[in-house]
Amino acid sequence: MTIYYPTNMVQVLMAVSGIGDEVPVQGLPLPGLPVRTVRQLRELHEWPIDLRLVVEHRPVTKVRVELVVYR
C-alpha cells in the first residue's frame, strides 16, 4: 500500500500512472464531481485540499480517497 498526499493534479496523475482507467475509486466523494473510476479522477482540474490517495496493488489494484487527519 502506498499513501500519496498530492497538492495538485500533476501529483495525482503521477500517483495513478500505470493504473487502468476502469479501476474503481473508493472512499470519500470528491466535491463537485462524482468520481467513480481512475479515468474520472484523471479528468479533474483541481485536487481538493486535505485529501490523500491510497493505492494498493495486491491482490488487486485499489484506489481510495481519504481525508487527511492532522494531529
Residue 54: what pLDDT?
96
Residue 34: what pLDDT?
84
Residue 70 grid coordinates: 492532522
Residue 17: what pLDDT?
95
Rounded Cα distance between 38 and 40, Å, is: 5
Residue 41: what pLDDT?
94
Comparing CA positions, the residue from 23, 11, 29, 10 lying closest to residue 57 is: 23
Residue 33: what pLDDT?
74
Residue 71: what pLDDT?
58
Residue 48: what pLDDT?
87
Low-confidence residues of the chain: pLDDT under 50: none
